[in-house]
A and B are shown apart, each in its own frame.
Chain A
Amino acid sequence: MSAKRPLEVVGQPRRRVDARAKVTGQTLFADDLSMPRMLHCKLLRSPHPHAIIEAIDISRAAAYPGVKLVLTGKDFPVPFGIMPVSQDEYPLAPERVRYVGDSVAAVIARDEKTAEEALLLIEVTYRALPTISSPEEGLAQPMPRIHDYGEQGNIHRNQSYEFGDVEAALANSDHVFEDLFFYEGDTHMALEQQASLASIDGDGKLTLATSAQNPHYLHRQLSLVLQMPASQIRVIAVQNGGGFGGKCDPAGHEMVVSKAALMLGRPVKICLTRQEVFYQHRGRHPVLMKFRTGVTKDGKLTAMHLQTLLDGGAYGSHGPASTFYTGVLTPVTYELPRFKFDACRVFTNKPACGPKRGHGTPQPRFGQEVQLDKIAEKLGLDPAEMRLNMATKANSLTSNWLGIGSNGLAECIRQVVERSGWKDKHGKLPEGRGIGIAASTYMCGAGVSIYWNKMPHSGVQLLLDRSGQVTVFCGATEVGQGSDDVLASIIAEVLGISTSQIRCVTGDTGITPIDLGSYSSRVTIMMGNAAMQAASRVRELITAAVIEPLETTPEQVVMSQGRVFAADDPNKGMSFVEAVVLAETKFGTLGTVGNYSPPKPPGKFKGSGVGPSPAYSFSACVVETEVDVATGLIHIEKVWIAHDIGQSINPVHVRGQVIGGVYMGLGEALMEEQVFRRLPAKLSNALVHKIPSLLEYKTLTSADMPEVEVMLIEEPDPNCPFGAKEAGQGPLLPVMPAVANAIWDAVGVRIDEVPITPDKVLRALKLKRAGKNPRVGPEYFPDVPYPEPVFVLPPGEGGDGKESKKLESMPANSLAEVSTS
């Protein structure tokens, strides 16, 4: 429509739009809010991991001076859950508690301390039930069931997919590698502890201001639980002090304060303690994995059979999606002609697992990339070369029907190899020092919404007026990742103004168009595309209004640096404000909308909705380490990471996301773990979170963080706004396997599980000295009753993306030698 010009805002390092508020302490997080007559809420939580609630006596608590209301499960008859297929949570447990920390009752009082004191006066009679602490136990012990829904016994989800005849391909491979890996659970640990403030507006409607990544989904669930029309509820996602997936699920405490505010007609606030944040969890699933991978002599993959077993915790949460994610992205990085994937999620009596940065994919990525390292070792190939030789290509389809658009993977690998001096180091550093590589991919938004519908995934509304002020409304949620800045940048770029001229109004279901939320790395691309559309529509209006006074054609109109002018005669022009005045004069009040829905995924089989994305980001990482052979202590020297971002909207913050991802990845590789403790069964039924504190849940401090060198690869993706892909999750993924591979290079031991702690390294070193297999990791994979697979022919074998019948394969004469590495 109008003339092209170089990018002015996008790609420039800039102070983000919300930075000033953050450095002055003006940013208000949920617990910073207060209102006149505000009351405070505290929750009573179960001390039992699994029990029936036989009776609750709240009379003493209700009579305690200062207490205004006590709520129990009776007050919340309707269950909820983020996924339509797992509506299994209650704000307060009505009759059964499923983990230590499950909430049972709530006290609302004049201040937090009074509420806390009154909690001790609530008397609950429990009848303890047998507990399940691991998926293995859950498989072995179908009764009692933690939930009375799910596949069978304590299995929540169970599924199998096969793309091409995997056994036949394995049988025809030169080698088949079989490896087990374990990925321990860990948690988001956003520095902010979730808080929520519910109040009744002057017009009688409910407003909930809360720490939430997905206000839209919360809005729907609130309406359900409170049995109130959604139009009477407004959810404001306040600035989040970090999210990482931990604030994606609607949470019981949000429902509790809403209900209390409705009953009391006064504002009610809750702020979780750190321990309660550990209980709310929804973090990384512990996953046991088995990989059987076939390769040719020269290191090309032939087929893979991946099996995963997830420890789901006590509730469904995002579990059904997480289960898929422990497999579906595996074929996106390297050409893999055939792929079979079985996954099973089991309920246990622990806080529910859910989505954490990389949602379900870091676990198989760890296994896959460590196994590749072993394969390269065995075949005598350079692990970086081997990866390069089989990297997927742009505009290709994977065996499981995912469409890859732009693809910077090979370039990422080349860059980290080059910058780290890989060729001079790998296999060549002195004993105790080593270097390792791994690569990865992540989605830029999920192809389908969490509940089934055909409406847009993101909507943006623009309002301009004669003052030249531009206000943008969008439901997207700032969790620290910089989504407001992305929104402002894209609009500023299209309109040729600076981000400081734009006011962002976001994450408020009462006044912003719907955006599904800050999850699955979807915001930049989905909100960005919607913003592009809205801004382009305004640009058209402005263009139409100025061509006459400028005596030019629409094709010649340029909007740049706050001016609107003709490309062929730049002196002929006007200020942006003047142009807006002309447009408002001509068209009346100026407003446009834009929206975005992702393209239809290529797969057509049931379950093909999880995994497709409009675009995939890629990363590669090299880690250099030093391992002390006497103690097993691990020191990370330096990390090189290349990330295919497509196009940076703001390189300062892309780099920040990448380094932040590396930091969290190092934490997961070396120390972070959400682990539980059982007491001796004869004496106690306890099953407790071992370390629910910031002191004992170990994360890196500034003193522990190594230098990170970041390379941004810009291969613009046509599906993305200005070509920009995601950076929030992808860069975490290659870090854990790169660490494991570096430790192998340093001291020749394999730690096939995370976290990789010094005691495990020393144990493996002792095995090595004793001439045994120098490996620490899981030893066996239990019998999981996976179902018959859904069989789909891969694109390369003439499939049409639909489920089909598996042809009776020739019982191939096996040439393969099975090696367990």
Chain B
Amino acid sequence: MMRLPWFNYRSPKSVAEAARILAAEGRDAMLIAGGTDLLPNMKRRQQTPATLVSLRQVGGLKDVVNGRGLTLGAGLTLSEVVNTPALKDSCGYRALHQAAAQVASPHLRNMGTLGGNLCLDTRCLYYNQNEDWRRAIDFCMKCNGETCWVATSSKRCMAVSSTDTAPALISLGAKVRLVSAAGDRELELNDLYQNDGTEYLTRQPDEILTAVSLPDLSGWKSTYWKLRRRGSFDFPILGVAAAVRAAPDGTVLDARIVLGAVSSRPLMTEAGGLLLGGKLTDEAIAAAGKKATSAAKPLDNTDLDLYWRKDVVSSFVGYALREIRGDDMSATRLRIMRQL
């Protein structure tokens, strides 16, 4: 049986109390929400916080506010997000619904939270291994070691951002609220991330992500396409989130295409810009696909062949944009993603 290391367990009742504990304990403390990312990492000794600060009893983290736009508490489980009526029925928010519904497995979605998903540790086949496996490669730069085995001359860790909801939420223009003992701030979700496998968040260790807010997206359509080996469990090895606002005649007014799992952060591509002012013709879609492909930099540290993963980016961008255009993609979606 894989077992957790020893830890101190704290169970604050409010965000303020949690923030105080984090401030006092410093980097030795970590937040735990659903635990579906942190606990496996602890069992493998990738992360060994001395203190776990649980968000389970913290009030207010499951609030859903549906007004102009939508605010989702960071403590909502992914299943709760999937079942939020405001998401299910809206074309604008569909990408989030689809992304959340494809995270991990049904059980893990019942446990894992939205906040945890956004703060998910980056992943790498040299890193997500038991301690004694990592000892056999003399560890790596991200944890206890010197070298990055994926790119031995690299100065930084290239572990992969593997969250499904972040690309979707970024395509929707989401903002997140971060609270610490020193105060709180709101920032664009896009700015929460940086392209460094070790320091992948701009969040300070004492900050708590409390809520995600989405703008009013009437007039928008969005979608999320995920590439993974199996219809369950697997992290994305490519995520394509697309959100488009079009005029009644189909002319694209706004478009964002965000890629997941091809870099250490979700990648806002320039492909969206190419679509502006035109219609979602096959040619425009192909051009967007090509543009997005050039941004993707997959490495040999996840499942499947890295060249192939780059090769298929444009197909996946195509599926997404055709779905937004109104093509019936349900058969393809079912075949590729086992998602209805």
Q: How far is the CA of A758 from the CA of B237 in the complex (A)?
A: 13
Given the known interface contacts A631-B315, A757-B305, A762-B311, the answer about A691 and B125 at a Cβ–Cβ threshold of 8 Å is: yes
Is the CB of A48 closer than 8 A to any CB of chain B?
A: yes
Instruction: Say whether, besides A759-B307, A762-B308, A701 and B233 are in contact (CB < 8 Å).
Output: yes
Contacts of A703 in B (CB 8 A): 230-232, 338
Contact A688 B136 (CB under 8 A): yes
In the complex, what distance in Å separates the CA atom of A45 from the CA atom of B131? Answer: 12
Extra pairs beyond A630-B315, A631-B315, A688-B137 (19, CB < 8 Å): A45-B132, A47-B135, A273-B1, A273-B2, A275-B133, A628-B335, A633-B335, A633-B336, A671-B229, A679-B149, A686-B138, A688-B136, A693-B128, A695-B233, A698-B230, A701-B232, A757-B304, A757-B305, A762-B308
1/0 contact string of A580-594 vs chain B (CB within 8 Å):
000000000000000
B335 & A696 in contact (Cβ 8 Å cutoff): no
Q: Is A25 an interface residue (CB 8 A)?
A: no
In angstroms, Cα B136 to Cα A686, docked, is 6
Q: How far is the CB of B301 from chain A (nearest CB, A)?
A: 11
Q: Which residue of B lies closest to A271 (CB)?
A: B1
Tell me if A803 is interfacial: C-beta within 8 Å of chain B. Answer: no
Are B305 and A100 neighbours in the complex by a CB distance under 8 Å?
A: no
Q: Does A626 have its Cβ within 8 Å of any Cβ on chain B?
A: yes
- 16 CB < 8 A contacts A-B: A112-B1, A628-B315, A630-B312, A686-B137, A686-B138, A688-B133, A692-B129, A692-B130, A696-B125, A698-B229, A700-B230, A701-B105, A702-B232, A704-B232, A759-B307, A759-B308
Contacting residues of chain B (114-147) with chain A, CB-CB under 8 angstroms:
125, 128-130, 132-133, 135-138, 147
Residues of chain B with a CB closer than 8 A to A632's CB: 308
The chain A residue sitting closest to B303, CB to CB, is A696
- Indicate if A26 sits at the interface (CB-CB under 8 A): no
Q: Is A810 an interface residue (CB 8 A)?
A: no
**A820: B residues at CB distance < 8 A:** none
A297 within 8 A of B: no
Least Cβ–Cβ distance between A768 and chain B, in angstroms: 15
- B230 touches which of A47, A100, A692, A701 (Cβ 8 Å): A701
The CA-CA distance from A679 to B233 in the complex, in Å, is: 28
A45 neighbours in B (Cβ, 8 Å) = 132
Query: What residues of chain B lie closer than 8 Å to A116, measured between beta carbons?
Result: 3
The chain A residue with its CB closest to the CB of B229 is: A698
Alpha-carbon gap, A560 to B152, bound state (A): 75
* Bound: A699/B233 CA distance, A: 11
Flag A668-684 by CB within 8 Å of B: 1 or 0 each: 00010000000110011
B132–A47 CB distance below 8 A: yes
A20 in the interface (beta carbon within 8 A):
no
Q: Is the CB of B152 within 8 A of A48?
A: no
Report the minimum CB–CB distance from B269 to chain A (whole Å). 19
- Contact of A684 with B138 in the complex, beta carbons under 8 Å: yes
Residues of A near any B CB (own CB < 8 A):
45, 47-48, 100, 112-113, 116, 271, 273-275, 626, 628, 630-633, 635, 671, 679-680, 683-684, 686, 688-693, 695-696, 698-704, 757-759, 762-763
- Report B218-243 CB contacts with A as 1/0, cut-off 8 Å: 00000000000111111000000000
Within 8 A of A (CB), among B284-340: 303-305, 307-308, 311-312, 315, 335-336, 338
Give complex CA distance A387, B207 in Å.
Answer: 68
Complex: how many Å from CA A698 to CA B233? 10
Bound state CA distance, A281 and B331, in angstroms?
39
Q: Tell me whether A683 and B152 are in contact (CB under 8 A).
A: yes
In contact, B1 and A631 (Cβ under 8 angstroms): no
Alpha-carbon distance A318/B303, docked complex (angstroms): 31
**Cβ–Cβ contact B1 & A759, under 8 A:** no
From A701, which residue of chain B is reached at the shortest CB distance? B232
Q: Which residues of B contact A635 (CB under 8 A)?
A: 335-336
The answer to whether A679 and B1 touch across the interface, beta carbons within 8 angstroms, is no
Give the distance in Å from the alpha carbon of A698 to the alpha carbon of B305 in the complex. Answer: 14
What separation, in Å, do the CA atoms of A688 and B125 have in the docked complex? 11
Cα separation A689 to B304 with both chains bound (whole Å): 16
Residues of A close to B135: CB separation below 8 A:
47
| Structural contact, A684 and B137, CB atoms closer than 8 A | yes
Q: Hey, which chain A residues are within 8 Å of B149, CB to CB?
A: 679
Is A112's CB under 8 angstroms from B125's CB? no
Q: CA A688 – CA B126 in complex, angstroms?
A: 10
B-side contacts of A688, CB under 8 Å = 133, 136-137
- CB-CB under 8 A for A695 and B234, given A116-B3, A680-B152, A686-B138: yes
Question: From residue B4, how far is it (CB to closest CB) to chain A in Å?
Answer: 9
Contact in complex: A631, B312 (CB < 8 Å): yes
In the bound assembly, the distance between CA atoms of A112 and B311 in angstroms comes to: 47
- Structural contact, A683 and B335, CB atoms closer than 8 A: no
Residues in B whose Cβ lies below 8 Å from that of A692 = 129-130, 133
B2 touches A690 (CB 8 A): no
> With A and B bound together, what is the CA distance between A275 and B129 in angstroms?
9
Chain A residues with Cβ below 8 Å from B129 are: 692-693
Complex Cα gap A688–B130 (Å): 12
* Shortest Cβ gap from A595 to chain B (Å): 41
CB distance from B138 to the nearest CB of A (A): 6
CA distance A658 to B232 in the complex (A): 24
| A residues less than 8 Å from B308 (CB atoms) | 632, 758-759, 762-763
**Complex interface: chain A residues within 8 A of B231 (CB):** 701, 703-704
With CB as the reference atom, state the residue of chain A lying closest to B318: A630
Which chain A residues lie closer than 8 Å to B335 at the CB level? 626, 628, 633, 635
**Chain B residues within 8 Å of A701, by CB:** 105, 230-233
* Cα separation A572 to B136 with both chains bound (whole Å): 76
B1 contact set on A, CB distance < 8 A? 112, 271, 273
